[in-house]
Structure 1
């Protein structure tokens, strides 16, 4: 990191030092660090003084340089209210300075006798600092542990901490009372207690994984209430990624009544939904989008529309990239905790700087974690409640998949030159009648973007109408279940709405748009949730995540989704359970509680992704009677067992008390819902492992999870499934269940068979490719602690990441040697077979750096697998264009040619430094001497920028 780079990026570095360096004056690393520390202290409100001229009345906080102690002069001693409270040990400004090794030196100064100080009590606040890093330890904490800070604290903050009887971390460890459990689900109890245990152990990050619909926000508010009341937290940030989710969170805070107080949360604590750069000093909870907080900290005005777009779908452009800097109005100690509510991939890129800035513990809430999520939260999963568990418990409902495919969707179509057609402006939708200039061939993926085919939309809507009325919900007497349609764009949504109203012969109230462009989007959403109309809503992404619409029974996908996590969130709109009264209130012809929802796939979204949750109904076309007979005859495959379990759980919600009692009598007292839960639980992988380990132990065999034999696991599975299936051996039970079904269930759900594995290759070749991909994923998971290259993507603060060629070589060596033999060529070929549409450059020779692309794709960081060099090329073009614009003049042709050669070296080696100019491709052009002649002192700055911009 050079001085020019720091100054160019607006880094808070002392301008005097920068100007001195530019004038050729030698600035020592020690001087750089002191200047940096002085400026940061001053920004935080400290008065900096030398020993010979100290004046403790100059301010609340005074930092005195070279203060004498009986073990030598301390670099800085901090005084608050005229009392010595802390010490700073300054180290030279060199990259990689190991500050943890300096902690003992800081502790020595803190425990030393200070000249003129009567009290010999060790100083409480300990800091170590260089030109780049600050670390801090509070000696009043239990088991004091240092942590990294973005900036020094304000003196008033230390003064406030000194007045408290105990530190926050000690209160978390010693003062949290038992959790009242009467109004909480088991999964919510587990989440709050697990989180508090993690906080008591002073872990900086915690992840709560709870299925959509299980009450994540209610759980989070319960935890927030206890942190404010019992731990004495000063202020908590509730971070969301859209303004709509912020509104919803605010409503839930207003509705929350704690178990030990009859007043609402907002009557006890001030809650601010941030809509300006100013944080209310009296607010104990601040709700903000991550976009707004990023704008406040980077000093840039916010684009209000940015808060309306989910960060699952929006990536920052180069023009948006700004670095956060210290804001005295929002110091780093502003928040004690940050609750990150479904921010998903937004927290791993530039937005991550918001989390790096604050000295706060991070609490993540998600229903759709991936490997990156687990890594970011240090694998500290304090609670885990999956979608499958929520269905078994009746918290959520299962789903079936219905497929719709049209000829144009699959193959596209062609328009011949000189045909007269409508041309429509995307923004204004104004039409003109004109000829086509040339032949236009378009694919299904281009539909509703460059080409609109109204007939294709009409065919899909008509097919959905027919299927819902005749096969999916035939007993509704043509009443349309609450249906949500996902469109590609706002314009596409308008086209769908017009055709829906036409196909269903209905008026405006029947189908409405719920997007950010709709003036009364919140009102339409409230009506969709609570009123009879609208029956059908069309959205792009406003209610794709987080928004609760319990009566939803049909989701129609007319857009594909690349992000696995985002797709899971979109499906989550339909999983909420609802009792009979609640469903009948908005769907009057519904008979009973909501027992499922139906996902209608009109674009192949199920085939294009590997989803983490799955339909428990694996055989929707098989009658319940046949499933019962199959189990009784010995069918023990996963599909049969899961389908029967799901069917019984669904049936239990529909039966009256008399029917329930008859089945329980025939099953020796086991309720029908428990019979279904037993079947699904029998296939729980963790429980199967536990059974196998217990069996081995009982036989006197020493086993661990890693050393269990495949046959031992298979035996444990067979035993568990046999025990769960045993009740169905009784013909009386099977007959009673079938009789109850005939009395109550009027339809059998029909969907197309599961064809998600078909990709055009033979089944054997595809199975081998899938096995290779799974082996790769398993290896990354098992050896993540040994693979330094993985840490590059999410562990380091954004501005200090580094990926080296040596890291990649170590990873490649581990993967390619026996028994794995996972070479880059083999992995790329496997992905090309299984996910051809998402793989580019399969026919090209692999470079070692392509391993970066493979790892990113396997971890879900990239939705497309393409050669690393292609990504470097793309970033290089953007960087050089931006750099030329900032300079006001372009690089010369010779400079540009050299920059391309440096870019090529980065593409093959992940980075570039001065030593690399000895390699052939650069040495042949004249090496470092020639490059220095072309770029001068700017060369190092350019290399640093390219390393960050092209690889990070």
Structure 2
């Protein structure tokens, strides 16, 4: 069939179709279930500068081979026959590593280079097209490499759930699922999965549970969470295929008629014995427990929530978290062991599954320099303000300055007006009182928006039903309002706000766990909503935590002892005195059923409304001073971007382009040769866009009259640029068009004018012949017939020759 074909003239696609796929199928691989072409690996990283974003090229493996659905075995990377047989092996190895498989192949249609991690004697070897290994051959080697036993195979090969609509786990989800199943098959009973917010932890958990359940390895399963919203979302969405086998635990009973149970920590524990629902079933009732957000309550040894896990200690327990907690008092790793798989925020952004961020840090003079009241300064209630220097940690806790609140609100308002007034925004404040004052300031600064809806700005905190009721509307992509949510603790976790485009930090954040969770509110991508990235507006230097190695590094176990924890009531009192929102679902040491909230304190946060019985507090001074009439101004505003190495950098888009292109082309000469050799310049332009070069931003920074070629030569290689009109005039001066006559000369002359006005992309599109001024020569077919011998190829050759003439003066 393929004898006599000149492979050198075939495209990569032809090489795959005519040589590689037949070789694979001849080895016995099933085209329907085991061979997947163009297997998606990444979505393509989003690059942001200014208010413009562009995706780099998505990465796809030419061919991925599976033992069965969800169990990858090998990757094949193809190249055209112009390259050597092993030219694509490094790319193939990258995909193989992501998929967790030991076999990688590269081919140019002549044969295969086979990289076999299971063969310690000869890792790489060339094989013919006829010698491609069968699925059974690779599966045997794979099982030996993994150390699988025959009795483990029924579980290890249990199929994934298929929704019938083509949804399949992403590569990292596949890795997390397969590693979990493998660990359970080998008898491991404590597992920890670390996956960044927005990467599909619940879907991953569902597939793990499904396979264990279907294989009859686990018969009664408990999915534990600490938010009703999480339980409801899980029940309705990811876990829906369990159907009638699934129930939510309610009241004081666990119903043995069901196999899949979704439980809320708070609903299963309490101070009274009757409230401890979990104790009403035997310790062996559940044989699998999956703990969502396990860095919270379940991580602490002395929490009521941990009692549930201890009661069912014989069950396999899988912890899910984006932020494993490692402190002197609490350790996920000590309880669950080292993570069996980690997929970080950095990796998610690099792969294009998570949204990158732009940071705008605003330094306020009183924050940076401190503020000391003038002698005799009274607060708004007539109290003498303590004479000392107040700093950033004091503001909106011990000291309220109205003008500072106003400046923050004005900055937020200005940003939204400049970009998108309807962009979903979360403003994180220090406490409930701060969130309410911020809401009021934003309301007054946005009267035209509030006139459209009084829910334009809402305080969403744990103390008020009206605000909490708006949370589902805020996260619903189909609902316009609320637009701005001011909050303290309630929205730090468990809020699936895919549409959130702006996160405002006016809260002092010391905890890395909390910081990661807050950032996670913005990292989800929503393509339909045009949410590819988000902005962090930071007033408290909180984003300095991005530079902390712990932000995206491996969790380091630091727990060395278990000192006596604060008494529950003392911790609660501290929170109440600060006027903070009490987020019962997050605090490890508070029993939510035992708390009666002191209403006076909860509303205004003043110490005198709640008596601690502590002599230190029995005085007449207010806990917090509230002042105005203070001059406050922003000292500096700095914009930073997420860089290719995962760090925040302050740079122009010219700097970014220079760095990106220097990696792609080693020299000016290489770039020029690549440009001139391209059949279509648009192909080079598209390739550079996929690398993150955003032409609109370059035009803003450099000037709109430059051709992409000149823009790159100027920005990256410091060459003096020619404008498009200058290039066009040089061609006219050389009397280039005298080699043509009639319609051809007229058309090419006007194409040159079109280039000067709009650029090279316009003249490469043959559809330009359908519009003015070309339509005066007739329809496209007539133009081709009159001027180019009736052949489109002749027309394309003439356009290519015109492009060669345009760029000939940059050939060296």
TM-score, length basis structure 1: 0.42
Considering Cα pairs closer than 8 Å and 6+ residues apart, tell me whether 1 or 2 has the greater RCO.
2
